[in-house]
C-alpha cells in the first residue's frame, strides 16, 4: 500500500470515527444502512474532504442525542481548524448551543437571531 493510500485510509478512518461509524458500516452499500447511518456517512465524507467551507442542512435531524453530540463536536473541530461552517436547522436549541451567530427565516424574512446576534 502506497503512502497516499495509507494517508487516505487514515483520513477516512478519522472522519468515520468523528461521526461514530464503525468498520462494519463503512463496508455497506447505501441501501443497506439506516437513514441515520447514511446521514452520518455523508457528514464523514464531507469531513474527509477537508473543505474550506462546510454547509450542513439538518445534519442531526435523524440522530439520537449521543450521535448528535458527536456531529456537533466534529463541526466545532472543523470550525476550530479555520473552515467556515453553515449549519441549517429547525432545531433552534441546537443552533443556539453551537453557533456564534445565527439568523431566522420566517415569513419570507431573514432576521438576526437575538440570542445569537453577531
End-to-end CA distance of the chain: 48
pLDDT at 16 over 90: yes
Q: Would you place residue 58 in the very low, low, confident or very high pLDDT band (cuts 50, 70, 90)? A: very high
- DSSP code at position 10: H
Give percent of the chain with pLDDT exceeding 90.
46
Higher pLDDT, 113 or 34: 34
Q: What is the pTM (predicted TM-score) of this model?
A: 0.80
What's the whole-number mean pLDDT along residues 24-52? Answer: 89
User: What is the pLDDT of the chain when averaged over all its residues?
Assistant: 87
Longest dimension (CA), the chain: 55
Amino acid at each position: 500500500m502506497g503512502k497516499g493510500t495509507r494517508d487516505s485510509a487514515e483520513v477516512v478512518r478519522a472522519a468515520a470515527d468523528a461521526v461514530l461509524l464503525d468498520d462494519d458500516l463503512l463496508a455497506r452499500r447505501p441501501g443497506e444502512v439506516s437513514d441515520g447511518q447514511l446521514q452520518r456517512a455523508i457528514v464523514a465524507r464531507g469531513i474527509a474532504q477537508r473543505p474550506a467551507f462546510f454547509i450542513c442542512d439538518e445534519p442531526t435531524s435523524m440522530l439520537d442525542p449521543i450521535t448528535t453530540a458527536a456531529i456537533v463536536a466534529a463541526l466545532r473541530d472543523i470550525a476550530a481548524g479555520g473552515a467556515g461552517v453553515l449549519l441549517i436547522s429547525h432545531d433552534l436549541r441546537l443552533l443556539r448551543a453551537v453557533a456564534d451567530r445565527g439568523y431566522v427565516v420566517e415569513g419570507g424574512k431573514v432576521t438576526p437571531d437575538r440570542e445569537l446576534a453577531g
